[in-house]
A and B are shown apart, each in its own frame.
Chain A
């Protein structure tokens, strides 16, 4: 016999916990959160730095504090938190197959499912650096876990490849733990991390950031002994004659995150090649009716507050689906969002007007750095609305609110684009 739940949430990180809390607030009664780790909180448990919660809690918290507050809120809902349990399969008719050391293999079914599996790190294999394969090469997130949770140092002299936030945060962390961080190397002409992290993690400690540079060779027999770094040209190819050697015993890779979507793909849910996460509608419903998704599994977020906001939306929609047996708007008129010039992706990818009569929230990333600029929404050639920005960068997610009347006035799809502000 398969046990039946109103809402089943896969993943107990901030996304999963917020979705479960909001499903409860919206009337779902029997809720389960399934987490493979032995504690909830996801990636936040290892993010011991502060910088979380300014939007949502109006105070600056560390990752564990943010997770702790949600764990307490989740506790009050009476939702079942199933730890140490790995979900192996999800089906379109909302059956969840899972396994844990106590009960072995089991299957449950749910009125609605929320996917909240987060993301994983890209590894050296994914970017292919030539050279030997000595020990001492870590992804920044793995190093973060070793240092902050398990309590052992990864090395004494480190070079960081990539300027994503995890790499920047780890540059400071290793420095404070007594290691020497020689440099942070970024192939793009701009940093992928937040400006505040460049200031408080690199500049505070005098760690140089080499933009338009990359590691072209890792040297060492058993342990890393040195790396070769070269400047790159506009097409990102190393320029001969610009070689620098850094003697180091550790290389941290902070070269990006990829949404964790094995389960999603296997369930036959449509994936957007740009976000590498499921295609979603305005209420975070995927291409499979009754299956919702939120957090880093949909697109990589830099701010947990946005993860929470998005997940509450998913939890609310999941509760409604479980109670009504359908999404009222599943078949309503939908407007695709087209990525115009300089837009890397948008979430959602499509808006059903039946669910967005008041407004729709759209998250997106731009493809390059902008100063004074404008975001434009067009219906074909017709400009519907524009938004001003003083600064935009690929590393900083943008958010706009499209008013309902504008949505309804569009004849077909909407195109979002970004450009320099000409009036200045």
Chain B
């Protein structure tokens, strides 16, 4: 379908891509962006400045905010949700999540508590995204 073709790169005869088409993921509006590599990554199709920044980043150094959960003891639920406090390079996502495997928190947990610091040398941390009270 159309939507998917959009995300595919446009290439010239030599297979070298010049203009990349992608969907902005910075907000639900999902603007269809064009990023021209030959024009210093000029972005068109964005409805706001965040799209321009995203488009440039996505073709040069794509990053993501990563969310997952870690084990928590002494709370009403077994897992506590966490996120990276800033975006990290996309190729590191799986390795970053693997760091959470052995982590065990003890309730009470506060929203914003650091769970893992300096993920893979990026300077980003995993932080808790909710409060978890101690149960009895």
Q: Which residues of A contact B (CB under 8 A)?
A: 38-39, 45, 48-51, 54, 60, 62-65, 67-68, 147-151, 176-177, 189-191, 194-196, 198-200, 203-204, 209, 211, 302-303, 369, 371, 390-391, 396
A194 near B30 with CB under 8 A, answer: yes
A39 near B76 with CB under 8 A, answer: yes
Q: Please, what's the 1-or-0 string for B4-47, where 1 marks a CB less than 8 Å from any CB in chain A? A: 10010000000000000011111110101000000000000000
Separation of A198 and B81 alpha carbons in the complex (Å): 22
Which of B25, B28, B69, B93 is A199 in contact with, Cβ under 8 Å?
B25
Residues of chain B contacted by A199 (CB below 8 angstroms): 7, 22-23, 25
Separation of A200 and B25 alpha carbons in the complex (Å): 7
A48 near B78 with CB under 8 A, answer: no
Which of B26, B67, B77 is A62 in contact with, Cβ under 8 Å?
B67
Please report the number of residue pairs spanning A and B whose Cβ atoms sit closer than 8 angstroms. Answer: 99
Most buried by B among A64, A148, A302, A369: A64
Q: Distance (Å) between the CB of B99 and the closest chain A CB?
A: 12
Task: Determine the interface band of chain B, counting residues with CB < 8 A from chain A.
Answer: 35 or more
- A195 with B77: in contact, given A48-B68, A303-B28 (CB under 8 Å)? no
- A189 with B22: in contact, given A150-B79, A203-B7 (CB under 8 Å)? no
B79 near A60 with CB under 8 A, answer: no
- A176 with B94: in contact, given A149-B79, A200-B64 (CB under 8 Å)? yes
Separation of A282 and B75 alpha carbons in the complex (Å): 42
Nearest A residue to B83, CB-CB? A62
Residues of chain A contacted by B25 (CB below 8 angstroms): 196, 199-200
Q: Distance (Å) between the CB of A359 and the closest chain B CB?
A: 22
Residues of chain A contacted by B67 (CB below 8 angstroms): 48-50, 62
A204 near B90 with CB under 8 A, answer: yes
Residues of chain A contacted by B26 (CB below 8 angstroms): 196
Q: A50-B65, A50-B67, A371-B2 are in contact. List 18 more A-B contacts (CB 8 A).
A: A54-B27, A62-B83, A63-B81, A67-B130, A148-B79, A151-B71, A151-B79, A176-B93, A189-B1, A190-B3, A195-B3, A195-B30, A196-B23, A196-B28, A199-B22, A199-B23, A199-B25, A200-B64
